[in-house]
């Protein structure tokens, strides 16, 4: 029996351990990691999978800006305990959290990952839209998804971490 719930403060250490174990060096040394630097997870979107009270999966999102300052959220990492992979947990986490992001009013999701694997969720390559990483590594792995109709229309530019707390998000009260 498993459940998906919002990450609690007491889960933080286990979540970081699982992500670090799953991603290796890329947890701290990658374009995605650098996009997370200096920011805190987007409230309400850090979800975990519990099976028999054991944390076996995690997903988090991070605030970023695109181009002149359009707000977006960066998905990742998503990580599942090695013994629990291949059971659909990441698929459930991704779909559920994206629906939740939409319900919370987020308009654009971004991720850096294998393009062949994320199209099914609605992501598309960012490069043809001239939405780019500031560095060349992983440039062709950057993907975007509109969570609201037209949210990507006419949008272009580099992505960067959104390190300034916004009064329009509820991050200040998290």
Ligand X SMILES: CC(C)(COP(=O)(O)OP(=O)(O)OC[C@H]1O[C@@H](n2cnc3c(N)ncnc32)[C@H](O)[C@@H]1OP(=O)(O)O)[C@@H](O)C(=O)NCCC(=O)NCCS
Burial, 139: exposed, middle or buried (Cβ in 10 Å; 0-12, 13-18, 19+)? Answer: middle
Is the bond preceding residue 44 a cis peptide, omega within 30 degrees?
A: no
| Residue 117 DSSP SS3 | helix
Task: Draw the binding track, 6-45, toward ligand X (x: CB under 6 A; -: no contact).
Answer: ----------------xx----------------------
Task: Draw the binding track, 117-146, toward ligand X (x: CB under 6 A; -: no contact).
Answer: x-----------------------------
Query: Least separation, in Å, of the C-beta of 118 and ligand X?
Result: 7
Task: Provide the token pair at 169.
Answer: 């998000």
Query: Could you say which residues in the range 103-122 bind ligand X, by CB under 6 A?
Result: 113-114, 117
Looking at residue 58, the DSSP 8-state letter turns out to be E
Which range of residues in 8-16, 78-86, 142-150, 166-174 is near ligand X by CB under 6 A? Answer: 78-86
Whether residue 143 contacts residue 125, with contact meaning beta carbons closer than 8 Å, is answered with yes
**Residues binding ligand X (CB under 6 A):** 22-23, 76-80, 85-91, 113-114, 117
């Amino acid at each position: 029996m498993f459940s998906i719930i919002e990450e609690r403060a007491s889960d933080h250490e286990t979540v970081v351990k699982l992500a670090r174990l799953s991603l290796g060096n890329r947890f701290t040394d990658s374009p995605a990691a650098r996009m997370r630097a200096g920011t805190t997870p987007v409230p309400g979107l850090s979800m975990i999978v519990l099976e028999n009270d054991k944390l076996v999966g995690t997903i988090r999102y991070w605030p970023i800006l695109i181009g002149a300052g359009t707000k977006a959220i960066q998905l990742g990492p998503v990580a599942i305990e090695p013994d629990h992979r291949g059971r659909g947990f990441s698929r459930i986490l991704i779909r559920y959290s994206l629906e939740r992001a939409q319900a919370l009013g987020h308009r654009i999701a971004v991720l850096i990952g294998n393009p062949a694997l994320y199209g099914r969720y609605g992501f598309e390559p960012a490069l043809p839209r001239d939405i780019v990483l500031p560095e060349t590594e992983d440039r062709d792995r950057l993907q975007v998804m509109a969570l609201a109709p037209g949210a990507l229309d006419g949008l272009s530019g580099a992505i960067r971490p959104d390190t300034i707390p916004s009064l329009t998000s509820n991050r200040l009260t998290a």
